[in-house]
Amino acid sequence: METYFESIKNKESSLPEQAADQISKLIIQNHLTGENKLPSEFELAELLNVGRGTIREAVKLLVARNVLEIRRGKGTYLAPNPGEVPDPLGFAYYPDQMRLAMDLVEIRSQLEPWVARMAAEHATAENIKILRECCSKVEQDILNKRDHSQNDVQFHVAIAECTQNLVVPKLIPIITYSITLFVSLTESRLRTETIVGHRELLEAISDGDGLRAEKSMIQHIEYNKALLQEITRREGEK
Amino acid sequence: METYFESIKNKESSLPEQAADQISKLIIQNHLTGENKLPSEFELAELLNVGRGTIREAVKLLVARNVLEIRRGKGTYLAPNPGEVPDPLGFAYYPDQMRLAMDLVEIRSQLEPWVARMAAEHATAENIKILRECCSKVEQDILNKRDHSQNDVQFHVAIAECTQNLVVPKLIPIITYSITLFVSLTESRLRTETIVGHRELLEAISDGDGLRAEKSMIQHIEYNKALLQEITRREGEK
């Protein structure tokens, strides 16, 4: 079965590109995990009936795409989150970063309150423990005047993990891309609100109170949105 | 400013990896578009103070990641949607594809009714024209007993484009990944429902009726969800 993603790829693909596809299929069909070593270059060349140079290039392609990783002195293995790449939608190349931030916060407003409610309803004790740690890390960053954006994203990912949905935690780093951009633009006002807002979220989720978690998230994102609108307006006036 | 995405990359990156990063930054800082040719290998080597071999490997990395494209006989250019990759979350490598489909349909239930409402409220005449064409293509596929999954995804992307939000159309191919898997599992029942459901969506959006568009989408996805649950149950009984 050809998937949508396969069909949008360039049809006139090069030999290494074709070999990379075949290696991917091999991995999927054989349910390879990070524990299993990939067959050697020699074996792959035999198996796919192509030259070793082609295999070498194909492996490079798959490493570039984070499907494979080369462990020095050990061999080639499946990467930890195969196929996941940093900035998967190429946001860094968007010309209008402010508009991107606004469009992302619109999506966050729609998705994250639901995520918070699901989190409160499905979190395990282990999830809550991790969430609490993430919350502390953000507070420590803020109190020590360090950039808290990475730990802020991780806090929202930790909430997403409470839902037990496989995909939600993967979407959070995409839709919270604007946090990094945002943190550098905003002042201490938001930092205080972040501490209070995150604590409210943490407590609602650990109490298993879905409605309160949802409301806290709405408030948290609305605050961010209002501030972002203010910045956009100010930038426009310059 | 270091972004979240940069910070999760491997810290001990190779020389070509570092050069690839620098070329990316060059592209972003100079607002390069698909119209502009990248400086030559020789110029880049001079500029970044590394060997031409390193530049060659760096360019290969960026081509593998769909940031750059090589136009034969013309040179190296920025790719059409730079940094966007097929299957950006590596779904193909997920061991439990049925669970993935269920988790995706849960996200669709939450996001797409809102997308449909926003689409009805913000669609331009040109958007509606494209949406109508996409709707026809799916119907033609179904009537001619062809696989309609790719055009089905495109129909949902066309709805997302009506919202005028930059990111929503990029999220649709991710969360509708399960359509392909799904179409092959379901029978003519769903095909009829798809035609009717899509037409209702199209009419509500072209009438600018946000509430009706939202309701139609809820129904459309609920139907898909119910059928998916039935399949999961049947698979479980085997």
Contact assignment for A92 to B65 by CB distance below 8 Å:
no
**pLDDT given for residue B132 in this prediction:** 98
Based on the domain organization, do B63 and B121 belong to the same domain? no
Q: Where are the alpha helices (DSSP H) in B81-187?
A: 97-122, 125-143, 149-162, 168-175, 177-183
Closest to A4 (Cβ–Cβ): which among B82, B89, B153? B153
Average pLDDT value for residue range B103-124:
97
CATH number of the domain enclosing B30: 1.10.10.10
Kindly state whether B210 is in contact with chain A, defined as any CB-CB distance less than 8 angstroms: no
Say yes or no to pLDDT of B144 above 60: yes
Give dist(CA A27, CA A29) in Å, integer: 6
A124 assigned to some structural domain: yes
**pLDDT given for residue B18 in this prediction:** 93
Based on the domain organization, do A95 and A213 belong to the same domain? yes
A86 assigned to some structural domain: no
B85 assigned to some structural domain: no
Between strands A75-78 and A68-71, the pairing is antiparallel
Say yes or no to pLDDT of A214 above 90: yes
Q: Which of A43-52, A226-235, B63-72, B127-136 has the lowest mean pLDDT?
A: A226-235
Rounded to whole angstroms, the maximal C-alpha distance in chain A is 65
A84 assigned to some structural domain: no
Kindly state whether A81 is in contact with chain B, defined as any CB-CB distance less than 8 angstroms: yes
Based on the domain organization, do A50 and A121 belong to the same domain? no
Based on the domain organization, do B65 and B97 belong to the same domain? no
Burial class (CB in 10 A: 0-12, 13-18, 19+), B48: middle
Give dist(CA B185, CA B140) in Å, integer: 20
Q: Which of B78, B102, B121 is the last residue of a domain?
A: B78
**pLDDT given for residue B199 in this prediction:** 97
Most A CBs within 10 A among B9, B22, B89, hence the mutation to make, goes to B89
Based on the domain organization, do A110 and A69 belong to the same domain? no
Q: Which domain holds residue A152?
A: 91-237
Kindly state whether A173 is in contact with chain B, defined as any CB-CB distance less than 8 angstroms: yes
Contact residues, chain B, for A66 at CB < 8 Å: 90
Which is more confidently placed, A86 or A120? A120
A83 assigned to some structural domain: no
Q: How many domains does chain B have?
A: 2
| ipTM confidence score | 0.87
CATH number of the domain enclosing A111: 1.20.120.530
B206: CB partners within 8 A, 6+ apart: B123, B128, B131, B132
Closest to A84 (Cβ–Cβ): which among B89, B167, B176? B89
**Token couple for A40:** 């050697």
Based on the domain organization, do B121 and B31 belong to the same domain? no
With cut-offs at 50, 70 and 90, classify the pLDDT of residue B32. Answer: confident
Kindly state whether A80 is in contact with chain B, defined as any CB-CB distance less than 8 angstroms: no
Q: Which of A48, A78, A108 is the last residue of a domain?
A: A78
B4 assigned to some structural domain: no
* pLDDT tens digits along A84-109: 888 899 999 998 888 999 999 999 99
Residue B53 CB neighbour total at 10 angstroms: 12
Contact assignment for A166 to B27 by CB distance below 8 Å:
no
Say yes or no to pLDDT of B98 above 90: no
**pLDDT given for residue A230 in this prediction:** 85
Kindly state whether A18 is in contact with chain B, defined as any CB-CB distance less than 8 angstroms: no
Contact assignment for A87 to B5 by CB distance below 8 Å:
yes
* Mean pLDDT of the residues in chain B: 89
Say yes or no to pLDDT of A1 above 60: no
B139 assigned to some structural domain: yes
Determine which helix (DSSP H) or strand (DSSP E) holds B77, and give its type and residue range.
Answer: strand B75-78
Based on the domain organization, do A112 and A25 belong to the same domain? no
**pLDDT given for residue A192 in this prediction:** 83
* pLDDT tens digits along B187-226: 656 788 889 999 999 999 999 999 999 999 999 999 889 8
Based on the domain organization, do B119 and B55 belong to the same domain? no
Based on the domain organization, do B33 and B115 belong to the same domain? no
Say yes or no to pLDDT of A182 above 80: no
Contact assignment for B89 to A111 by CB distance below 8 Å:
no
Based on the domain organization, do B55 and B102 belong to the same domain? no
- Chain A and chain B share a number of CB contacts under 8 A equal to 158
Average pLDDT value for residue range A22-41:
89
Based on the domain organization, do A102 and A65 belong to the same domain? no
Q: Which of A57, A78, A99 is the last residue of a domain?
A: A78
Based on the domain organization, do B148 and B216 belong to the same domain? yes
Nearest-10 Cα torsion for A7, A11, A16, A20: 10
Contact residues, chain A, for B27 at CB < 8 Å: 93
Kindly state whether B150 is in contact with chain A, defined as any CB-CB distance less than 8 angstroms: yes
Q: Which residue of B has its CA nearest to A58?
A: B64
Average pLDDT value for residue range A42-48:
93
**pLDDT given for residue A152 in this prediction:** 93
Closest approach of B103 to chain A, Cα-based (Å):
6
A141 assigned to some structural domain: yes
